[in-house]
Chains A and B, each alone.
Chain A
Amino acid sequence: MLLRLNADSVLSHCRNSCDCKMNFSEVFKQSNHLCKVSPDGKYLATCVQYRLVVRDLGTLQILQLYTCLDQVSHMEWSSDSLFILCAMYKRGLVQVWSLEQPDWHCKIDEGSIGLVSSRWSPDGRHILNTTEFHLRITVWSLCTKAVSYIKYPKACQKGIDFSTDGCYMALAERRDCKDYVSIFVCDDWHLLRHFETETQDLAGLEWSPNGCVLAVWDSCLEYKVLLYSLDGRLLSTYSAYEWSLGVKSVSWSPSSQFLAIGSYDEKVRILNHITWKKIVQFEHPATIDNMKAIVYKEVERRPAVVSDEMSLHNITMGSTLLSTQSKYEICPLPVQIPVVKPEPDRANPKIGVSVLAFSSDSRYLATKNDNMATAVWVWDMQKMSLEAVLEHTSAVRCVMWDPRRPRLALCTGNSKLYLWSPGGCVSVQVPAEGSFQVQSLNWHCSGDSVILLGKDQLCLCYMDTDHEEK
C-alpha cells in the first residue's frame, strides 16, 4: 500500500539540513481539503464527500469508515483524538464520531437557525456552534447534553480564541455598537471577565501562547493593537500610524516574547513582551540588497535529461514527463522581486503582510507580502534581520513550519513541495499519478511527515530523519 519513492531532486548542499530522503505515499481521495491528523499523531481522518475515513498513519490502512448525512463542510479532531466532528453547514447539522466506539453516534441539529461554524472546545467534550448571522454561539456538552448560549458574538476575522492550555476562551462581542471581550473559563463556561475594548471595530483577538496576554486589534481602517491581561487590564496600546489601512495580520511567537504585526504598509513590526514597544520593523522591499540574506529563486526548465531512477517512474507516470522541472538557485544580490500593483479602488487590496508564521523554536519568522505573492521571506529573530527570501514561479498558497524543527514547508499550487531550512532550500516534485497539484499542506505533529492536499487528493510525504536523529 505504501509506495516509497526517492526524491532525487534535492539539492546536494542541503542534504544534511533538509532530509535527503523523502518518501511519498500513494494518493488518496479527499474533498474540501478535509484531511486532518489526530492530535496524538496516530490517525489520519479524511472526508470524501459524505464519508469520513480514518486511517492508521503508520500503515495508511483504513481503521474506520463513517457515513455522514451530507457532504461534510468541516471536520475536526477532538483534543484527545477520540472523537471527530463533522459539520454540514448547509444542513445545519453536526455529527460526532467516536474512534473507540464506532457505533456510538451523536448528531446535533441547529435547525432553522442555521450554522456557519462549528468547533470543539479544548476539552473535547463540548461543541461550539455559531449560528447564522452570528446570532449566538451554542455550546453543546457531550457529557450532559446540556446546551448553553452565548449571545452577541461578533462576526469578524477572528472573534474567538482559546488559550493554548485550553483553560480560557476569549470571545469578541458587539453590544450597543461597542466592542467587548468576554473571557470564559472553558471548564464550565463561566464568564470570567467581560470588558469593553478601545476599538472602533474589533477585527480579531489572539491569546499569547502562555495564555496571559490577549492581543486585540482593530479593523484595517485603523492601526490599533491592544494588549489585555487575562484579568482584563489594558496592558498597552500600539499604533504605528494613522489615516491609512492598518493591521492585516497578527501572530505571537511560540515563546510569547514577540508579537508580530503585519500591516498594509508592507511592513512587519515586532513588539516585545516587557514594554510592548516596537523592537524592530521588517520591510519587504521590491529590491533585496541585504547582503546577509540569501535569495533562492525557483528556476523552471524542461526536463532534458531524466535520471534513471526517475525515468522508471516517469515511464509509469507519464504526467511528470510533461510537467516542468524546477529547482532553487541562489541569486546574486541585488534581486528584484516581481511586484503586483494593487487596484486602489477595490476593497481589501492585495497588498500588505498577510502571512506571519513563527517557527516552533521562535527563531525564525516567515512572512508573505500580498503584492509579492511569489516570495516568502524568512527572518532571523535572533539577529533581527532577513535570513532568506524564496522566490517562486507562482504565487505561494500555503506556508507551514515544522512543529518540531526550524523547517518550512510551502506550496504554490503546482506539483512541487518546497522546503526551507537554515541549511538550504529544496523543491521536490511529488511523484504522483495524474496531476497532483499541492494546494495546501499540513505537518504531522512529529514533524516527520507532511500531508499534501491537492484539489481532491492527498498524499503523504515522509521525511526520513532517522539518520539525523541517530
Chain B
Amino acid sequence: MKFSTQVADGCTATMPESSQAKDARCCSVECRTPPLSHFSQSSLPLHRNSHRLSTFCTEHNLQECLSHISQEVSLLGLSPGWTESVSSSQLDVVAVLNCMYDLIQLHHRSLRTLENMEMEQLKLSSNVDYLKINNTHLKEEVEVSKRQNTGLLERERQLHLKLKSLQNCLKNEKEEVQKLQNIISSRACQFNHEMKRREREFTKLKERLNQLLADKKDRKPGDTSIDVLNNIGRADGKRSLWKTEKTEAKHEGEMYRTLLSDYDMRQRELVLENAELRKVMQQMKKEMVSILKSRKLIPKGENYEHNDTQAASDEDDEVFDPSKESVELFCIDAREKLTNSIRLQWRRLKSHVERLDSQVSLTRMSESNIDDAVPRENHEEEMDRLKMEIQRCKDFIQKQQQLLQKQLSCACNEDPVSLQNDGYMLQEKKRLGEEWKSLEEQRKSFERERRNFTEAAIRLSHERKIFEEDRGTWLKQQFLSMSPFGNSKQLHAPKSSSALLIAETEVRAPMAPETPSECRSDSASPIPGSVSLTPSSAGDLECQLCLIPENGVTYCSSKHGKSEHFEELSPLCESISLRDKQWRESEDLSSHSLTPEKSSSI
C-alpha cells in the first residue's frame, strides 16, 4: 500500500493537470447530464472513457498509464491489485477487473449519492419556494393586518373624538339643565318675590285707597253712608254694650265655655263608649274564666296544671270581685288590673287552645305513630271501600239496566218472536194468500181452459163424429172401389190431419188439470197459467205424441226408421205416418213458437 501511494504520488507529480482536467470534465459532464437518466449517463461515461482510453493509453505509454491508473486508484483508496514492476506487459486481469469493479461500484455509489443529493436539493428548493410563497403570503397578511390595525386605530380615534364630543355635549346638557333649573328656581324665587311685592303693592294700594276714601269721606260725607229711618233694637232686646276689658274677658270665657262644653260632651260620649267596651271586656273575661275553669275541672292532674296554679290565686279573687271592680271602674288601677287580667286570661286561653291543638295533633300523631300510613291507609281503605261501593252500585245499575233492557227486550223479544212469528205468519199468510190468489187464478184459468177444452172436446167429438163419418165414407169408398188410387188418399190427408190435431188436443185435455200441479212442484213461483203451462204441455205433447203412435201402432222411435217402416208398412199405415209427419211438423212449429216463450218465462 505504501508503495502504491508513492507511485501514485509520482504519477500525480507527472500528470496533475490531466487528472484535474479530467475531473473538471467529469464534473462538467456530470453537471450537464440530467439527474434522472442515470442509465444513459452510466453508458455515456463508459463510452467516453473508452474513447478516452483510446487516446489515453497507447502501446507506448502503457506503463505510464498503468502507473498513473494505479496511482489514481490508490488515490481513490483502492488497491490496484497489480504491481507495476511485475507486470509491465501483462496485466493481472483479475486484479484489473476487481479494480474496475470497485471503481464502478464507487462510481455507482457516487452517482447514487449524487442522485440523493439532487433529490435533496430539489426538495429543498421546492421547500424554499414554498417558504417563499408562504413568506409572501404572510407578508401580505401582515400588510393587511397592519392596514386593519391602522383602520381600527383610526376608528378608535374617531370614537374617542365622538365620545369626547358626546361627553362635552352631556356636560353642556347637564350645565344647561342645571342652568335651567337654576333659572326655574330663580324664576320661582323671582316670581314669589314679585308676587309678594305685588301683593304688598296691592295691599299698599288698598291702604292708600282706603285712606283716600276715608279722606274723601271726611270731605264728602255722603259718599259712604247709612240712611236708616230709625234705629232698631237688638234682636235679643238688649242694649249694645261698650267694649271694655270686661266684655273681652266675657268673650274669652264664653269661648272657653263652648269649647269646654264641647269637650265635655265628647268626653261623656267617650265615657259611655268606654263603659260599653269595658262591659264587653268584663263579659269576655268572665266567659274566658268560665271556659278555663271548666277545662280545669275536667282534666285535673294533667301535666300543665303547674302553669295554672301560680295564677289560680289571683285569678280567683279577680273572678270573684267584678262587683267591686264596677265600683272602682274608673280608677286607673282597676282599669289596669282589668286589662292585665284580661290579657292574662287571654294568654292562658291562647295557651290552652294551643295545647289543645297540640294535643289533638299529638293524639293524631300517636294514632299515626303506630304506622304513619294509618290515616292514609284508612283513607285508602275508605277510598277502596267507596270505590268498591261505587263499583257495586255501578254493577247494580248496570245489572238493573241490563235487566230492564232484558225485560224490555223480552217484551220486545217476545214481541219480536211473536212479531216475527206474526211476521212469518203474515208473510206466510201473505204468501199463502198470494198462492191462494195465484191458485185461484190458475183455477180460474183452468176453469177457462177446461171450458175451452170441453168446448174443444165437444167440437172434437163433433169432428170425430164427422171424421168417423168421413172414415166410414172413405172406408166405404175404399171398400167400394178397392182400386189403388193413392193420389186420392193424399188429397184427403190435410183434412184428416186437422181432425187428428183436434183429437190430440182432446187426448191431452183430461190430463190438463194435472200439469199445473207438476209445474208447481217444479217452481214455487206463481206462473201465469196458460202461458207458462205451454212449454210443459209442449213436453207433454211430445210424450203424448210418442204415445199416440203407441195407441195406434207400435213402432220404433227413429224417424228414419219410421219413414222406412212407413214405406214398408201397409197402405193402412201410410195414413198414420202421414198423420205423424203432420204432427211432427206442427210440433216443430209449436216448439219454434214456444221456445222464445220458454226463455222469457225462465
Q: Which residues from chain A sit less than 8 Å from chain B, CB to CB?
A: 79-80, 98, 103-113, 123-125, 133, 135-136, 138, 140-145, 147, 149, 151-152, 167-168, 174-177, 185, 187-188, 190, 192, 210-212, 229-231, 274
* Bound-state Cα–Cα, A274 to B195, Å: 38
Query: Do residues A231 and B256 form an inter-chain contact, with CB atoms below 8 A?
Result: yes
Contact with A along B204-244 (1 / 0, CB 8 A): 00100110010011000011111111111111100011010
Q: Given B206, B224, B241, which contacts A109 in the complex, CB threshold below 8 Å? A: B224
Known: A107-B227, A151-B210, A152-B203. A143 touches B233 (CB 8 A): yes
Bound complex: CA of A36 vs CA of B243, how far in Å? Answer: 35
* B223 close to A111 (CB less than 8 A): yes
A133 touching B255, Cβ below 8 Å: no
Of B206, B226, B247, B256, which is within 8 A of A106 by CB? B226
Q: A109-B224, A138-B224 are in contact. Are A144 and B248 (CB under 8 A)?
A: no
Residues of A within 8 A of B195 (CB): 177
Query: Which residues 352-399 of B have a CB within 8 angstroms of A?
Result: none
Contact A177 B234 (CB under 8 A): no
In the complex, which residue of chain A has the Cβ closest to the Cβ of B193?
A177
CA distance A187 to B231 in the complex (A): 17
Pairwise interchain contact B225-A109, C-beta atoms closer than 8 A: yes
Q: Known A111-B223, A190-B248; judge A144-B231 contact (CB<8 A).
A: yes
**How far, in whole Å, are A104 and B233 apart by their CA atoms in the complex?**
13
Pick the residue among A105, A123, A140, A151 that contacts B235 (CB under 8 A): A123
B residues near A112, Cβ cutoff 8 Å: 213, 216, 223
Cβ-defined contact, B262 with A104, below 8 A: no
Docked Cα-Cα span, A192 to B200, in Å, equals 26
Nearest CB in chain A to that of B270: its residue: A274
For the complex, what is the distance from the CA of A397 to the CA of B206, rounded to whole Å?
37
Contacting residues, chain B, for A167 (C-beta < 8 A) = 254, 258
Could you tell me if A142 and B228 are in contact, using CB atoms closer than 8 angstroms?
Answer: yes
- Chain B minimum-CB-distance residue to A233: B259
In the assembled complex, the Cα of A135 lies from the Cα of B209 at a distance in Å of: 8
**Bound Cα distance from A108 to B228, whole angstroms:** 8
Asked, given contacts A112-B213, A212-B258, whether A190 binds B226 with beta carbons under 8 Å apart, the answer is: no
Contacts A106-B226, A140-B226: A188 and B247 contacting too (C-beta < 8 A)? Answer: yes
B199 at the interface (CB under 8 A from A): yes
Q: Are B203 and A175 in contact (CB under 8 A)?
A: yes
Contacts of A133 in B (CB 8 A): 206, 209
9 interchain pairs (CB within 8 A)? A109-B224, A123-B235, A123-B236, A135-B209, A167-B258, A188-B241, A192-B252, A211-B258, A231-B256
Is B251 in contact with chain A by the CB < 8 A criterion?
A: yes
Distance, CA A447 to CA B12, complexed state (A): 164
Given A103-B229, A176-B203, 6 further pairs, Cβ under 8 A: A106-B228, A111-B222, A140-B226, A144-B240, A151-B210, A185-B254
Interface residues as binary, B549-591 with A (CB distance below 8 Å gives 1, 0 otherwise): 0000000000000000000000000000000000000000000
* Of the residues A105, A111, A149, A175, contact of B225 by C-beta under 8 Å: A111
Complex: A190 Cα to B247 Cα, angstroms = 9
Question: Within 8 Å CB of A187, what residues of B?
Answer: 251
Asked if B137 is at the interface of the complex by the 8 Å CB criterion, the answer is no
| Cα distance A136–B211 in the bound complex, in angstroms | 12
Beyond A79-B235, A112-B213, A212-B262, is A105–B229 a contact (Cβ under 8 Å)?
yes
Question: What CA separation (Å) do A389 and B209 show in the bound complex?
Answer: 52
A329 vs B453: C-alpha distance in the bound complex, in angstroms? 103
A145 and B226: CB pair below 8 A? yes
State whether B259 touches A106 (Cβ < 8 A).
Answer: no
Which residue of chain A lies nearest to B216 when distances are taken between CB atoms in the complex? A112
Identity of the chain B residue whose Cβ is nearest the Cβ of A109 in the assembled complex: B225
Interface residues on B, range: 35 or more
B489 at the A/B interface (Cβ < 8 Å)? no
Q: Is B492 an interface residue (CB 8 A)?
A: no
Chain B residue with Cβ nearest A211 = B258
State A124–B222 Cα separation when bound (angstroms): 25
Contacts of A98 in B (CB 8 A): 232
B223: which A residues are within 8 A, CB to CB?
109, 111-112
A195 to chain B, nearest CB (A): 14
Cα A174 to Cα B266 with chains together (Å)? 34
Residues of B within 8 A of A190 (CB): 243, 247-248, 251
Output the least CB separation between A271 and chain B (Å).
Answer: 15
A124 touches B210 (CB 8 A): no
List residues of chain B with CB under 8 Å of any chain A CB.
Answer: 195-196, 199-200, 203, 206, 209-210, 213, 216-217, 222-236, 240-241, 243, 247-248, 251-252, 254-256, 258-259, 262, 266
State in angstroms the CA–CA spacing of A80 and B252 once bound together. Answer: 26
Residue in A113, A123, A175, A231 whose CB lies within 8 Å of B224: A113
Docked Cα-Cα span, A26 to B195, in Å, equals: 54
Tell me whether B210 and A230 are in contact (CB under 8 A).
no
A231 near B232 with CB under 8 A, answer no
> How far in angstroms is the closest Cβ of chain B from A254?
15
| CB proximity of A290 to chain B, nearest CB, Å | 30
Complex partner residue of A143 from B234, B248, B254, B259, CB under 8 angstroms: B234
Could you tell me the distance in whole angstroms from the C-beta of B176 to the nearest C-beta in chain A? 24
Contact assessment for B235 and A104 in the assembled complex, using a CB-CB cutoff below 8 Å: no
A383 to B275, CA, bound (A): 24
**Shortest Cβ gap from B198 to chain A (Å):** 9
Given contacts A133-B206, A136-B210, A174-B199, contact A192 B229 (CB under 8 A): no
Chain B: CB-nearest residue to A185:
B251
**B50 to nearest A CB, angstroms?**
124
Residues of B within 8 A of A107 (CB): 226-228
| Distance A466 CA – B352 CA, assembled complex (angstroms) | 62
Q: What's the nearest-Cβ distance from chain B to residue A246, in Å?
A: 19
Chain B, residue nearest A113 (CB): B213
User: How many angstroms from the CA of A211 to the CA of B216 in the assembled complex?
Assistant: 40
**B255 contacts A177, C-beta separation under 8 Å:** no
CB-based contact A212/B259 at 8 Å: yes
A-side contacts of B217, CB under 8 Å:
111
Given A188-B240, A190-B248, CB of A108 within 8 Å of CB of B226: yes
Contacts known (A104-B229, A111-B223, A125-B234); A231 close to B259, Cβ less than 8 A: yes
Q: For A210, what are the chain B residues with a Cβ–Cβ distance below 8 Å? A: 262
With A123-B234, A174-B199 in contact, is A109–B227 under 8 Å at CB? Answer: yes
Query: What are the residues of chain B within 8 A of A230 when measuring CB–CB?
Result: 255, 258-259
A108 in contact with B227 given A135-B206, A177-B199, A212-B258 (CB within 8 Å): yes
On whether the beta carbons of A177 and B248 are closer than 8 Å, the reply is no
* Minimal beta-carbon separation of B475 from chain A (angstroms): 125
| Chain B contacts for A140, CB-based, 8 A | 226
Cα distance A110–B217 when bound, in Å?
A: 11
Q: Which residue of A lies closest to B241 (CB)?
A: A188
What separation, in Å, do the CA atoms of A125 and B237 have in the docked complex? 11
- Identify A124's interface contact among B199, B235, B266, CB under 8 A: B235
> Please, how many angstroms separate the alpha-carbon atoms of A109 and B227 in the complex?
8
B518 to chain A, nearest CB (A): 92
Nearest to B256 among chain A residues (CB) is A231
Distance in angstroms from B357 CB to nearest chain A CB is 36
The interface residues of chain B lying within 8 Å CB-to-CB of A274 are 266
How near does chain A come to B233, taking the closest CB pair, in angstroms?
A: 7
Tell whether, in the assembled complex, residue A145 and residue B224 are in contact, meaning their CB atoms are under 8 Å apart: no
Least CB distance from B366 to A in Å reads 49
Q: Give B520 Cβ to nearest chain A Cβ, in Å.
A: 85
Q: How many angstroms from the CA of A97 to the CA of B417 in the assembled complex?
A: 116
Contact A142-B232, Cβ < 8 Å, known A135-B206, A177-B195:
yes
Q: How far is the CA of A421 from the CA of B243 in the complex (A)?
A: 50
Smallest CB-CB A-B distances: 10 pairs: A111-B223, A212-B262, A177-B196, A111-B224, A107-B227, A106-B228, A185-B251, A108-B226, A104-B229, A135-B206
Whether A176 contacts B224 by the Cβ 8 Å rule is no
